[in-house]
Amino acid sequence: MKQLLKTLTETFAPSGYEDSVREIILKEVKPLADEVRVDALGNLIARKKPSAGAKNPKKIMLAAHMDEIGIIVSHIDKKGFARFTNIGGAFGRYTLGARVRFLNGVTGIVGYDRLEQVDNILPLNKMYIDVGATSKENCPVKVGDVAAFDRTFIEMGDRLVAKSLDDRAGVVTLIETLRAIKSTPNDLYFVFTTQEEVGTRGAGTAAFGIDPEIGIAVDVTPTGDTPASLKMVMELGKGPCVKFRDVGMISDPRVVDWMIKAAEKAKIPYQREVLLIGSTDAREIQISRAGVMTGALSIPCRYVHSASEMVDINDLKNSVKLLTAMLSKPAVF
């Protein structure tokens, strides 16, 4: 699981450019699924059919997004410095001084025009990327080129640190859940979605095509366990979080109850999540077509949308256990 997560997080795949990470996921899920396809927006959909004799199987869609935040070049000046804008929620406080890797392999360093006061909010339009060029003519990137943060995967005991754990942590959780489920009375669709960071776009089209009865998004959630953090109960190492509410959706109480009962019956630690910032693919799944009974399972993550996000391996393992316990039995509502 750790090695797969290392491979996934060290792959560069900003929103709209998910091809390279999708290839890795496809190799993992193809032997495990009954059907695999890629839709028009690039979502990878792996279906595990209900076992023979299953009565009234529920069609369940599970979603984890493949994409990560990034930047895109908008201008190159005469000295070869590249101005850029964001793809998804790239925050100035994390971006200044970062290294970025372009999809063509070029590495750059993010600088700032001039710091008047170090505590000021740092807008992206005052930043530039230094790719080592000396002129516009010898600059190895051009307008429209896309990059993501460049940072390797490391282990700190049970804590794992990398870029793009949002949401490669969810991706590896779905892969390992698909691997763990030997048979199911449900009709399961494991969907690795595109363009979540720019508006949960892939999940919306995938849900429309699948038309599920139940939807579950698997994503990371910010924590409240660092100094002076927001007043939220989510902590690293205390188990996966059952979402009640975030900015974009209110979980269906029936799905919440299903998750909690499954966790308690299997003696899996879990946390109750009310998220004060952000949302997930669950938002789009819930309002697809005539509406879908939807919830979300969240993996606690510190420093979300930075180049050094942090999760706990035990939360990943318990997320797999909980989803496996839920999906291996009939979803009765």
| Secondary structure class of 38 (helix, strand, coil) | strand
Q: Left if phi > 0, otherwise alpha if psi is -120 to 50, otherwise beta: which for 10? A: alpha
| Secondary structure class of 247 (helix, strand, coil) | coil
DSSP state of 40: T
Torsion angle in degrees (nearest 10) through CA of 77, 79, 81, 82: 30
Question: Rounded to whole angstroms, how far apart are CA atoms 141 and 226?
Answer: 38
Question: Pick the catalytic residue: 28, 176, 196, 197?
Answer: 196
Question: Rounded to whole angstroms, how far apart are CA atoms 193 and 218?
Answer: 11
Peptide bond into 166 cis (omega under 30): no
What is the per-residue DSSP string for 65-87? Answer: E--B-EEEEEEE-TTSPEEEEEE
| 196 annotated active-site | yes
Active site residues: 196
